[in-house]
Amino acid sequence: MVKTMKIKAVLAGLAIIPLSFLAPAGNAQAGLVATQWFFGNWDCFIDGRPAKMQWRVVDDPQTQCDGNVCSSTSGVKVVGRFSDNGGAWVPLAQRYVRGNDFGIRYQGREQDNWFLRYDSRVRTANGWTTWRGNRYPLQCRKV
């Protein structure tokens, strides 16, 4: 009887060992993602006004639960932001990248689509923004 109780105590102790201790944990890390030409910091002009744009890859862990059972995954995502003439940073989203062409979704109060075309020889990108149906020039230089 005493021996059975000791075995049950050992088994109960093993039951509380986290599964992550028993299984190797593989995490995606933002620093290991292949780079794109638009990643990093940019000095821009939007319709002649100075502006700044940034694109980063960040860790994006996700946890989902179904009752008492939860699972976690690790991943990464691309995030962008834009500051017009020293104003507040506004989120940007990547719509598409086709070679040196870059479609951007401005995610401010009045959302719209932007476009940039990169010239790797001079590390600049030229294109346009839209606001209320009108296009405005956008020129950016990689910092």
Q: Is residue 8 over pLDDT 80?
A: no
| pLDDT over 50 (residue 43) | yes
What is the chain's mean pLDDT, rounded? 83
How much is the pLDDT for 138? Answer: 98
So what's the pLDDT on residue 18? 40
> Residue 35 has what pLDDT?
82
Comparing 29 with 120, which gets the higher pLDDT?
120
pLDDT in the model for residue 109: 92
Residue pLDDT, tens place only, 110-131: 999 999 999 999 999 999 999 9
- Domains of the chain (ranges, CATH numbers): 27-142 (2.40.128)
Q: For the chain, where are the E strands, in sequence order?
A: 40-46, 49-59, 62-66, 69-73, 76-84, 90-98, 101-106, 112-119, 124-131, 134-142
CA distances from 142 to 36, 38, 108, 114 (A): 12, 8, 23, 17
Mean pLDDT, residues 36-50 taken together: 96
